[in-house]
Amino acid sequence: MTDEVNRINYRLRSTFFYRKLKEYKTLSFRAKVAALLPVKYLYNWEEWRNWGIGEDAFDYISNHPDLQLIEVFCHPRLIREHSSLLGYYRNIAALPQKAVQYLAKVNLKKIEGDEENKYTLTEDKALALCRLFNEHISLIIDSSVESLTAEELYGILLASTGAQIDGSWRNSIGEESEKIVQRILIKEVKERNLLAAFIPRKCTKVEVYKPDKIDEQLSNIEDYRGIMLVNHTSILFSSEPDISLLNNEGTTVGVIEVKGGTDPAGALERYGAAKKSFESALRINPDVKTILIASCITSEVHNRIQHDSTI
């Protein structure tokens, strides 16, 4: 039982890390910063002391043959212009989002995820963030005894992102389990030649299924509300239940609850939550099919399921 639970847990962890790396867009940071290099001369660094940059660190990067100042240090004007780069400088400083919120009193979660730069930092917040990031970056350069390379800088970026993903994993086992089941369903529908279109979460314009885009769509599964099938039915992703199957009239004919938690101590609680969801669906349609997918089913939960007409 324990071995099987651990195998499932680590499989989910592997897919979670890959999905989060894409979600955080860490691999795109270098290209974003490189795109600013042609205008690097427009950023004045005369106030570097006021921005938390150490003297030795500033001199080292200023004379570095392969690194530019904006690749290493945070400029207050730059992050006000390009708030999506906050994640880059935060990770170069090896700081988690929680630490930034505690030390600089700024919540970066929504701002870092804003690819359209809708959020504008105030002057005081930009300065506070610059000082915090640059102080830590300066410490890293000083600790390297002024030997930091471009490759090591990128290594810090990836290591910091990995630490953040690992920290969020502990609270995301259930979420990742749902995404895995959603992908399995879509792949099966595709194999049966039933997939017609994807239903986006943020607009009403559906995305017609195209075989050459399926890998991209599966990797961004969180962007979709569900899928439409060629037999005029739909599969929707939500919560309570996690997955609903609708017929042509819009009637729910099937519901799926996904419980990915692997802690045996919580198995009974997860079973109870699924049962509550099923009971709600059955009140509306007594003929609905109910399916429970769980990573951990203890003997007590198994016995209850055997005598439970709602599952």
Show pLDDT as tens, one digit a residue, over the chain (311 residues): 556 667 767 777 787 788 777 777 787 888 889 999 999 999 999 999 999 999 999 999 999 998 999 999 999 999 999 888 998 999 999 998 888 888 888 888 888 877 777 777 889 999 999 999 999 999 999 888 778 888 888 888 888 888 777 777 766 777 778 888 898 899 999 999 999 999 998 877 888 898 888 888 887 888 899 999 999 999 999 877 899 999 999 999 999 999 887 778 888 888 998 999 999 999 999 999 999 998 888 899 999 999 999 99
Reported as type and span, the H/E element at residue 197 is strand 195-200
Give the whole-angstrom CA distance, residue 25 versus residue 260: 26
94/152 Cα distance (integer angstroms): 12
Please give the pLDDT value at position 231. Answer: 94
- In the three-class reduction of DSSP (H, G, I as helix; E, B as strand; rest coil), residue 259 is classed as strand
| pTM for the whole structure | 0.59
Sign of the dihedral through C-alpha 134, 139, 142, 143:
negative
Task: Give the β-pairing of 207-208 and 289-294.
Answer: unpaired
